[in-house]
């Protein structure tokens, strides 16, 4: 089981290349079928103008992890995942350190996934609480 998790994390982290996830230094650190954890450093690159963690960077982390979690639960040969709604309550600010995104599937339907993402700091204090809805879209037949 541990070997499968390491292999999955390696695969997920390899997909970051040339993406916003790579720019933000988001790294996946733990995975299960219905649960995914990633981390992101908090530094000047993800600040708002007044010097605190930008809410948009936090949402980018949440959406990255939540979308990847949905992707783990579909057949990628036949379906794509797209986020269609995300909301966040930013509870605490940060200036430095690491934040962790804990994504969990709340509802796993055939066409919609509801994902909850808790963003915590290194002390396990809540930074943001996010909710997102992903839609599962069949891929078009490209053989025609």
Flag whether 129 is in a domain.
yes
At 16, which CATH number?
3.10.129.10
Q: Could you give the number of structural domains in the chain?
A: 1
Above 70 in pLDDT, residue 143? no
**144 pLDDT tier (thresholds 50, 70, 90):** very low
- Specify if 37 maps to a domain: yes
Write down the pTM of the prediction: 0.93
- Residue positions annotated with a catalytic role: 63
Range of the domain at 50: 2-138
What strands, in cross-sheet order, belong to the sheet with 79-90? 27-32, 35-42, 97-108, 112-120, 126-138, 79-90
Q: At 112, phi and psi to the nearest 5?
A: -135, 140
Identify whether 144 is part of a domain. Answer: no
- Lowest average pLDDT, out of 7-16, 39-48, 89-98, 131-140, goes to 7-16
Report, as an integer, the average pLDDT of 63-80: 95
143 domain-assigned: no
């Amino acid at each position: 089981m541990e070997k499968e998790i390491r292999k999955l994390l390696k695969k997920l982290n390899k997909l970051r290349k040339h993406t916003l996830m790579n720019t933000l230094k988001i790294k996946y650190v733990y995975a299960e079928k219905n649960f995914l954890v990633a981390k992101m450093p908090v530094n000047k690159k993800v600040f708002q103008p007044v010097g605190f963690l930008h809410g948009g960077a936090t949402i980018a982390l949440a959406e990255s992890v939540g979308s990847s979690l949905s992707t783990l639960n579909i057949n990628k040969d036949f379906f794509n995942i797209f986020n269609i709604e995300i909301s966040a309550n930013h509870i605490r600010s940060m200036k430095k350190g690491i934040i962790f995104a804990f994504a969990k599937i709340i509802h796993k339907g055939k066409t919609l996934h509801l994902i909850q993402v808790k963003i915590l700091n290194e002390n396990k204090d809540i930074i943001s609480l996010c909710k997102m809805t992903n839609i599962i879209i069949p891929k078009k037949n490209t053989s025609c």
